Amino acid sequence: MAELDPFAGLAAVLGTAAVHVDPHRQARKGVPEVVYAAGKSPGLTLAAVQALLERQPGGRVLVSRASAEVIDVLRAELEPAGATVLVAPYGGTVLATRQDASPPRETGGVVAMLTAGASDAPAADEAAWVAREMGCRIVRADDVGVAGLHRLEAPLRMLREHGADVVIVVAGMDGALPSVVSGLVDVPVIGLPTSVGYGLGGGGVAALLSMLQTCAPGLVVVNIDNGVGAGATAALIANRVAATRYFMFGLRPKKFTASTCMTTSLSWFNISPRERTMPRSGRLRDSLASSTVKLPRSVSPGRTGLSQRKLSTPGEPRLSLWPITESTSRRI
């Protein structure tokens, strides 16, 4: 009797190729597969990107931690075939697209991003590009760390005006900025420690430990330099909030993000006990419409000058709509 191979069939499932891409991850998980280039040879990174470009429905592939050598190889091999290779302003993060690639579908989610210093930009770019590929609008302010705390006032006002659903705060050194921001905003904050610092505790260790020991509620932390993890988590949160806005108010996500942001946290959207018992979103919309203002069923993408409206009748829900204009929103 032939000896049974306990691993029979695994080869058929796993195959024998050096890389096994997951082109349907975004459809299944909501997060696209990102090719991690660090530790891979340029040829292996290229093989993974080519496989994803061929099989990815949207024709877009992100690469993280790409060295200059990897970027040169990707451009030399992909661009002659008609693909486009874009590199983040501070390097390391790459977006490769097919000729027929479609842009990310706008979800209505708004991800805000603050960096403590200019040295934190590479990790911030990584997070921003991931969130953008997941359909979110990015609102960003750089170099606003605690060494000059007065710089933080204007960005915080901007985040509030743009109706940010979640904030990524990127910091190295002492890693204090995420705790400061988390104590001042009423949306989730994701701390992204970076490997910036001196001597003992440098390399992001002090920043990570400081964020983990925060006393400001609402702050969660990813690992050092994990921009992909921060961007993916932030976008998942923002996209779920955007889907809830659509369910409650009937505003289509794509139209919604083109012109307005709505803040729905408790400090801006207060639901009375009577409204909390309403099971259907239509009843909530009808109640809001009959109170003071009539909510639009849809918002035209061209109405970027929509003025702020508040519904603040005592005991009734309160709503504010904020404009987003191209001049005030930073795009990738």
With cut-offs at 50, 70 and 90, classify the pLDDT of residue 7: low
Residues above pLDDT 70, as percent of the chain: 70
With cut-offs at 50, 70 and 90, classify the pLDDT of residue 163: confident
Q: Decide if 136 contacts 109 (C-beta within 8 A).
A: yes
Q: Provide the domain limits for residue 215.
A: 110-238
Entry pTM: 0.71
| Domain presence at residue 3 | no
Residue finishing a domain among 73, 97, 121: 97
| Domain presence at residue 117 | yes
Q: Let me know the angle formed at the C-alpha of 128 by 94 and 23, rounded to the nearest 5 degrees.
A: 55
Give CA–CA dist 169/177, Å, rounded.
7
pLDDT at 15: 58
Residue 165 and residue 234 in one domain: yes
The string of pLDDT tens digits covering residues 231-243 is: 999 999 999 998 8
Give CA–CA dist 225/119, Å, rounded.
12
Residue finishing a domain among 192, 218, 238: 238
CA nearest 225: which of 122, 95, 141, 145?
122
pLDDT at 70: 93
Residue type, 295: L
Question: Is 250 a residue whose pLDDT tops 90?
Answer: no
pLDDT at 2: 60
pLDDT at 216: 93
More confident residue, 122 or 253: 122
Residue 179 and residue 299 in one domain: no
Dihedral sign, CA of 50, 56, 58, 64?
A: negative
Give CA–CA dist 133/231, Å, rounded.
10
* Best mean pLDDT range from 44-48, 253-257, 261-265: 44-48
Q: Which residues of 299-311 are buried (b: 16+ CB within 10 A; e: fewer)?
A: beeeebebeeeeb
pLDDT at 6: 64
Residue 93 and residue 118 in one domain: no
Question: Is 246 a residue whose pLDDT tops 60?
Answer: yes
Question: Is 317 a residue whose pLDDT tops 60?
Answer: no
pLDDT at 24: 81
Residue 254 and residue 234 in one domain: no
Q: Within 13 Å and on the Cβ side, how many CA atoms surround 277?
A: 2
Residue finishing a domain among 201, 216, 238: 238
Question: Is 3 a residue whose pLDDT tops 90?
Answer: no
| Domain presence at residue 5 | no
With cut-offs at 50, 70 and 90, classify the pLDDT of residue 201: confident
| Average pLDDT over the chain, rounded to an integer | 76
Residue 118 and residue 174 in one domain: yes
Mean pLDDT of 128-141: 93
pLDDT at 326: 38
| Domain presence at residue 306 | yes
**Which residues are bridge partners to 166 per DSSP?**
111
Residue 152 and residue 44 in one domain: no
Residue 229 and residue 185 in one domain: yes
Q: How many domains does the chain fold into?
A: 3
The string of pLDDT tens digits covering residues 108-118 is: 899 999 999 99
Question: Is 320 a residue whose pLDDT tops 70?
Answer: no
The string of pLDDT tens digits covering residues 50-108 is: 999 988 888 899 999 999 999 999 999 999 988 999 999 887 899 999 988 888 988 88
| Domain presence at residue 103 | no
Residue 273 and residue 293 in one domain: yes
Residue 124 and residue 187 in one domain: yes
Mean pLDDT of 216-222: 95
DSSP state of 99: T
Residue 167 and residue 228 in one domain: yes
Residue 149 and residue 41 in one domain: no
Residue 204 and residue 138 in one domain: yes
| Domain presence at residue 243 | no
pLDDT at 20: 80
Mean pLDDT of 219-236: 96
pLDDT at 63: 94
Residue 195: which CATH number?
3.40.50.1970
Helix (H) or strand (E) segment spanning residue 168: strand 166-171
